[in-house]
Amino acid sequence: MIRLFVCLFMFSLNACTFNVDFTKHSSDPVEIVSEPVLNIYQAQKLSQLPIDCSEVEYPNKLNQVIGSGDDLLSPKALHPSFYGCFDWHSAVHGHWSMVSLLKNFPELDNAALLREILSRNITTENISKEVEYFHGKHNKSWERTYGWAWLLKLAEELHTWDDPMARNLESTMQPLTDLIVERYIDFIPKLYYPIRSGEHPNTAFGFSFAYDYAIAVHNDELSRLITNRAKDYYLADEECPINWEPSGFDFLSPCLEEIDIMRRVLSHDEFEQWIDDFLPALKNKNYDLAVGEVSDRTDGKLVHLDGVNFSRAWVFYGLANQYSEFQHLRNIANKHVQYSLPNLVGDSYEGGHWLGSFAIYALNQLNKKRID
């Protein structure tokens, strides 16, 4: 009996110190996957997704706290700018999708319709109502920080679009943009610990989009706050367990979103040292990562895994754009996009109301193809 106890004790001790990595990074070369393309034909198809949802009021998930019967209003009455696409944040990034596609493909067949929708929804009166909602007694943390991040991404896309309409829309939306910036500046110092989930509250994702906006408009206060806080949260992180990902409903990768913000805020030398501790396997030329498999695209939660494929891809593309030693990660990104992209157009509303934005953003990162 004593001998058996000793054996069990030694086995458990060994188990505690033995790390298993289920990601593939053997000496065998990985399969080369063709690169996806965002051309005028693909853009035309993807543009139909925000058209089909941006002004569709129901079904709708309001995610609101009801303070009284006065709060029981229709989605359009509460959010006259962003009432479609099932929920507020999806409506926001649906409008971002329209702006991004118009910016990159002004010759779209439905360009006039896209412009019409944007002009109809983003008006002074409508934005005033959106701001009023955020000032409601129970709405201080509403859409924090996922919806906040996409609102700033929309503002950034308008700011960087050289078009007279963009100047008008940017100016019209500025009161809401300023409010979101204020919410970030107020909230970040109070968040002592980062949120590392694979869904909406993920802090690193919210930081990445907000940081891009801050850099684009030269908001030094916001960019400095995000830089310092990201270092507080993540600089000491080591050995991120990416083999635990994805969880069943993830549309973001906790490990990779952390990389996405740190590549922005760290210098080259700082990032090189940090990534060697955080996820050194990424430097292996034969590193591979299996796609998130979707079992049922009519299930609003399970279809999140198409999102994780696109968000993983945009992180890998962004990393490869910035640092030459990560060029091999483009192939993994290609694999993830090619798995999920063919399922978007004609998909059920569960995925169609939001996944197009994720696909467009991933393909935009692919198209940058630059090394800083």
pLDDT tens-digit readout, 296-329 = 999 999 999 999 999 999 999 999 999 999 999 9
Beta carbons within 10 angstroms of residue 355's beta carbon: 26
Rounded mean pLDDT of 41-45? Answer: 94
Smallest CA-to-CA distance from 172 within 128, 123, 132 is with: 123
Q: Residues near 239 by Cβ (< 8 Å), separated by ≥ 6? A: 19, 277, 278, 279
What is the DSSP secondary-structure string of 186-220? HHGGG--S----SSTT-HHHHHHHHHHHHHHHT-H
Tokens 């640092």, residue located: 323
pLDDT tens-digit readout, 71-95 = 999 999 999 999 999 999 999 999 9
Q: Is residue 18 part of a domain?
A: no
pLDDT tens-digit readout, 202-253 = 999 999 999 999 999 999 999 999 999 999 999 999 999 999 999 999 999 9
- HSE-up of 368 (CA within 13 Å, CB side)? 19
Provide the pLDDT for residue 325. 96
Q: Is residue 7 part of a domain?
A: no
Instruction: Answer whether 36's CB lies under 8 Å from 115's CB.
Output: no
Question: At residue 164, what is the residue type?
Answer: P
Q: Is residue 255 part of a domain?
A: yes
- State the pTM of this model: 0.92
Q: Is residue 319 part of a domain?
A: yes
Confidence of residue 110 (pLDDT cuts 50, 70, 90): very high
Q: Is residue 19 part of a domain?
A: no
Cα 252 to Cα 51, 300, 311, distances in angstroms = 25, 15, 6
Peptide bond into 59 cis (omega under 30): yes
What's the CATH number where 227 sits?
1.50.10
Smallest CA-to-CA distance from 264 within 219, 302, 217, 318 is with: 318
Confidence of residue 147 (pLDDT cuts 50, 70, 90): very high
Provide the pLDDT for residue 350. 79
Cα 256 to Cα 17, 116, 231, 288, 289, distances in angstroms = 25, 37, 16, 14, 12
Structure tokens at 121: 């929804």
Provide the pLDDT for residue 3. 41
Q: What's CA 208's distance to the chain center, in Å?
A: 9
Q: Is residue 352 part of a domain?
A: yes
Beta carbons within 10 angstroms of residue 293's beta carbon: 11
**% of the chain surpassing 70 pLDDT:** 91
In the chain, the number of structural domains is: 1
Q: How far apart are CA 158 and CA 147, in angstroms?
A: 17
Q: Is residue 299 part of a domain?
A: yes
> Could you tell me the residue range of the domain that residue 257 belongs to?
29-368
Q: Is residue 10 part of a domain?
A: no
Confidence of residue 24 (pLDDT cuts 50, 70, 90): low
Tokens 């999920």, residue located: 340
